[in-house]
Amino acid sequence: MYDSIETADRAELRDHQSERLRSVLERAYESVPFYRDRLERAGIQPGSIDDIDAIERLPLTTSDAFRSSYPDGLFAVEWDDIQRIHASSGTTGRPKIVGYTEDDLDRWGAVMARSLVAAGVSADDIVQNAYGYGLFTGGLGFHDGGEALGATVIPVGGGNTARQIDFLRELESDALACTPSYCLYLAEALNERGVAPSSLALSTVLIGAEPFTEPLREAIEARLDVTAIDVYGLSEIIGPGVSIECSHQNGLHIWEDHFYPEIIDPETGAVLPEGETGELVLTTITKAAQPVLRYRTGDITSLTRERCACGRTHARMAPITGRTDDLLIIRGVNVYPSQIEDALLAVNAVAPHYRIDCHRDDQLDRLTITVERTSDQSEPVASIEADIRTELSRALELTPDEIDVVAPGTIERTETGKVQRVFDHRNGDP
Ligand code: DLL
């Protein structure tokens, strides 16, 4: 264990949660007009909630809160106290901005260090971090956690497969952190180069940031001869480190002394009993810069509060099985179809007919965008394509693999029912 709270008695944990909820509510009410309005409208005075069980009375928060408060309306501290910013995709043009104070960054480092220990990583280990560095929380989240633990971190970042392989071999990394799809890609690249997994020191991979199935995990474990640990998190709450599996791989331990979980019925918003599947809702009970109350993650899972065989008592969530919205996660990057639509329709020569295709080729996601040009033929295709690329690069943190500009009338029209513009062939769309 990294921290004794991980095995705390549940009654003790609940006392902590109640106390922290009271304090976060007070801060949110005092410092964030958005929450003050919501609480007042719901007739709730912060002092009237004194037990964690009463959290159900608080209004739910959706990702719209980030959009309507862009960029800093959800901050509970002054800019002077913000030490770092991260961001993730919003449904349209503007990203969700997340801020951290110095204490928040320390807490994040500590929950990530705790997560790494739960996954079997120790201070003596070398962690090769192949999550992207930058606004995405994956890179710096694992980086700070590895350093807080006292491990050696190799900040190689995403991609650059030849270098990843060199480092795995020559620096003898014990753990690798990357998306599951990239992990599988790397396994194939190793195989093609004739590198036997048994010749590597690698024993653990930390896979997250996108959904994966159990067979995919098994393929990773078999091909790399490793234990593949599921790690979950989201920028709005902190980034990676909200929850992680231990070596028993029987659910992801949610660090409940910082993040309070509930499962709701996505249709009605009602809290569901333990064990039922629904939408995960999280409340940050320690975050200073930007507390988030009852946030609808959009992720589908279930919870158990039974003590794990490892001795940890915090609630465990099942691996994520899907989302309540249309978020696409492509190579670990979040993309809402509405962001693509906004960008395409900002180009004059483009008609409002398009399709988005996601394939998985050779274990790597590919994004293809097909758009119709208008009947005005004056602009050459190459220049329309260039305009589209410019608009998309403004809106997305990933470049489509292919942009196809087609003649007017080419894209199939929908006469009945809902239009389907997104074809996620990874999920079996034809
Ligand atoms: O993906 C944080 C992260 C980085 C987690 C590295 C794990 C490892 P966002 O970019 O804000 O943050 O995306 C959050 O990604 O709501 C889920 O839909 C999805 N997601 C994250 N981890 C998992 C996972 C990071 N283990 C969104 N399994 C979340 C399934 C995941 N989906």
Q: Ligand 1 pocket check: which of 115, 212, 230, 232 to mutate, most ligand atoms within 8 Å of Cβ? A: 232
Report how far ligand 1's centroid is from the alpha carbon of 43 (Å).
34
- In angstroms, what is the span from residue 218 Cα to ligand 1's centroid? 20
Q: Tokens standing for 108? A: 């994040």
Those residues with Cβ within 8 angstroms of residue 101's Cβ, 6 or more apart along the chain or in another chain: 77, 81, 82, 83, 288, 289
With 90 as the cut, is the pLDDT of residue 416 above it?
no
pLDDT (mean) for 317-346: 89
Atom of ligand 1 nearest to the CA of 297: 16
Atom index in ligand 1 nearest the CA of residue 96 equals 11
Ligand 1 probe mutation, 320, 327, 333, 339, most atoms within 8 A of CB: 320
- The two structure tokens encoding residue 254: 């949610």
The reported pTM is 0.89
Is the CB of residue 295 less than 8 Å from the CB of residue 287? Answer: no
| Ligand 1 pocket, residues with Cβ under 6 angstroms | 88, 131, 136-138, 208-211, 230-235, 239-240, 297, 299, 320, 323, 329, 334
Instruction: Spell out the domain ranges in the chain.
Output: 1-325, 328-427
The tens digit of pLDDT for each residue in 66-118 reads: 999 999 999 999 999 999 999 998 776 689 999 999 999 999 999 999 999 99
Taking only the tens place, the pLDDT of each residue in 258-272 is: 999 999 999 999 999
Give residue 148's pLDDT.
98
Q: Residue 417 pLDDT > 80, yes or no?
A: no
Is 427's pLDDT higher than 90? no
Please state the CATH superfamily assignment of the domain spanning residues 328-427 in this structure. Answer: ANL, C-terminal domain (3.30.300.30)
Of the given ranges (170-184, 265-279, 325-339), which has the lowest mean pLDDT?
Answer: 325-339
What mean pLDDT do residues 216-244 have?
96
Question: Which amino acid is present at 25?
Answer: L
- Is 282 a residue whose pLDDT tops 90? yes
Sheet with 259-264: list strands edge to edge: 259-264, 278-284, 295-301, 322-323
Atom of ligand 1 nearest to the CA of 239: 2
**Does the pLDDT value for residue 337 go beyond 80?**
yes
Model pLDDT for residues 295-309, shown as the tens digit of each residue: 999 999 999 999 999
Question: Domain 1-325 falls in which CATH fold?
Answer: Rossmann fold (3.40.50)
State which of 115, 137, 216, 327 you would mutate to test the pocket of ligand 1, scoring each by most atoms of that ligand within 8 A of its C-beta: 137
Percent of the chain with pLDDT over 90: 82
